[in-house]
């Protein structure tokens, strides 16, 4: 059984490598240069998925994602802060900090403290083919800077790679459908004093879309993450309806309520969203 699992893991690695290489090769061959035309961006972020939209050159975006999670054995809260900076109109750098973490176990003391840091980058090919198809590749490295002994973080170094394919529908209020697929490599580099269970790599996927109605954007996502193929215990799937209100070109605000669909998923989550973006030459 263990040998079969290892063989399956190897096949997953090769499938991911093949998928990423094939997608990159295909996107580069499509008849469109980098940002061949300006692409409308009805929203900047989803709640539990990445979007293809890059920051423009010298543009900065601050995003605040406060969230609450109700699990089987504990309540958790997080104040995620994300900063994106456009190096070019297609390539951006990403910085994320979990901010303040809060955990209230059903049996045990409440704990809180700072979370981990993430650094990454994303490159996007916009307006491919007929101008309504977009593709993006990205990577994020999570650095375990948060406390591990109190169970707030797991002390793991994580490296995520993801690919996003999106399709716009201008005839339907510039709505969009997208699919995201990624792999997360996990290695424990800090072990709690009381010991910890073995780490497991995971695969994640997101399918979703949004529909603009005036200044409102209705969003819907299906989010999945699984590490059981590598000996882990989680097979999480969420249905994530949300709504975003576009206050102006620079500001957006919204909320979503992901609902867990599998036994290992949180029962539900509440995710807030506040975004501000600006160009450096506007300061």
Look up the CATH number of the domain holding residue 236.
Answer: 2.40.160.40
With a cut of 70, say whether residue 117 has pLDDT above it: yes
Rounded CA separation 83/198 (Å): 32
CB crowding 9-35: b at 16 or more within 10 Å, else e:
eeeeeeebeeebeebeeebeeeebeeb
Q: Where is pLDDT greater, at 118 or 282?
A: 118
Residues 203-215 pLDDT 10s: 999 999 999 999 9
C-alpha to C-alpha distance for 179 and 162, rounded to whole angstroms: 10
Instruction: Name residue 253's beta-bridge partners.
Output: 245, 274
70 pLDDT more than 90: yes
* pLDDT bucket at 283, cuts 50 / 70 / 90: low
Average pLDDT rounded to a whole number, residues 130-150: 94
Q: How far is it, in rounded angstroms, from Cα 181 to Cα 141?
A: 16
Print the domain residue range for 28.
2-282
Q: Is 2 left (phi over 0), alpha (psi -120 to 50) or beta?
A: alpha
| Between 210 and 189, the higher pLDDT residue | 210
pLDDT tens-digit readout, 33-54: 444 468 999 999 999 999 999 9
User: Range with the lowest mean pLDDT among 29-38, 59-68, 110-119, 249-258?
Assistant: 29-38
How far is the C-alpha of 7 from the C-alpha of 94, rounded, in Å? 34
Mean pLDDT of the chain: 89
Average pLDDT of the residues in 6-21: 47
Residue by residue, what is the 3-state secondary structure of 165-214?
EEEEEHHHCCEEEEEEEEEEEEEECCCCCCCCCCCCCEEEEEEEEEEEEC
Domain count, the chain: 1
| 55 neighbors 85 (Cβ within 8 angstroms) | yes
Give me the pLDDT at residue 228, please.
Answer: 96
So what's the pLDDT on residue 196? 77
pLDDT in tens, 235-279: 999 999 999 999 999 999 999 999 999 999 999 999 999 999 999
C-alpha to C-alpha distance for 215 and 254, rounded to whole angstroms: 12
Share of the chain above pLDDT 70, in %: 87
pLDDT classification of 1: cutoffs 50, 70, 90: very low
pLDDT band at 29 (very low <50, low <70, confident <90, very high): very low
pLDDT digits (tens, 9 = 90+) for 74-113: 999 999 999 999 999 999 999 999 999 999 998 889 999 9
Determine contact, residues 156/184, Cβ cutoff 8 Å: no
| Mean pLDDT within 9-25 | 48
pLDDT for 72: 87
Greater model confidence, 102 or 11: 102
pLDDT above 90: residue 22: no
Q: Are residues 94 and 122 in contact, defined by beta-carbon separation less than 8 angstroms?
A: yes
Rounded percentage of the chain residues whose pLDDT exceeds 90 = 76
Q: What is the DSSP string of 110-166?
A: -EEEE--EEEEEEEEEEEETTTTEEEEEEEEEEE--S--TTSS---EEEEEEEEEEE
CA atoms within 13 A on the CB side of 116: 18
The two tokens of residue 260 are 């867990």
Q: Which residue has the higher pLDDT, 136 or 21?
A: 136
**Residue 123: CA count within 13 A, CB half-sphere:** 7
Strand partners, 222: 207, 239
């Amino acid at each position: 059984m263990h040998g079969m699992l290892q063989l399956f893991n190897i096949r997953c690695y090769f499938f991911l490598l093949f998928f990423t290489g094939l997608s990159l090769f295909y996107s580069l061959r499509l008849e469109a240069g980098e940002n061949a035309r300006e692409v409308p961006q009805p929203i900047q972020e989803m709640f539990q998925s990445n979007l293809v939209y890059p920051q423009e050159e010298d543009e900065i975006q601050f995003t605040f994602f406060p969230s609450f999670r109700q699990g089987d054995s504990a309540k958790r809260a997080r104040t995620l802060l994300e900063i994106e900076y456009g190096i070019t109109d297609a390539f951006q750098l990403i910085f994320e900090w979990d901010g303040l973490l809060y955990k209230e176990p059903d049996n045990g003391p409440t704990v809180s403290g700072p979370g981990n840091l993430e650094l990454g980058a994303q490159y996007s090919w916009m307006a491919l083919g007929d101008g309504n198809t977009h593709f993006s590749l990205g990577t994020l490295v999570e650095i375990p800077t948060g406390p591990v002994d109190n169970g707030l973080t797991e002390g793991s170094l994580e490296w995520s790679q993801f690919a996003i394919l999106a399709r716009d529908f201008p005839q339907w209020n510039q709505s969009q459908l997208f699919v995201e697929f990624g792999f997360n490599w996990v290695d424990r580099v800090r072990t709690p004093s009381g010991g910890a269970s073995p780490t497991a790599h995971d695969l994640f996927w997101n399918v979703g879309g949004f529909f603009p109605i005036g200044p409102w954007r209705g969003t819907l996502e299906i989010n999945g993450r699984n590490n059981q193929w590598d000996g882990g215990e989680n097979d999480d799937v969420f249905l994530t309806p949300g709504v975003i209100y576009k206050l102006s070109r620079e500001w957006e605000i919204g909320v979503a309520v992901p609902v867990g669909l599998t036994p290992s998923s949180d029962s539900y989550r509440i995710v807030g969203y506040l975004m501000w973006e600006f160009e450096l030459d506007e300061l």
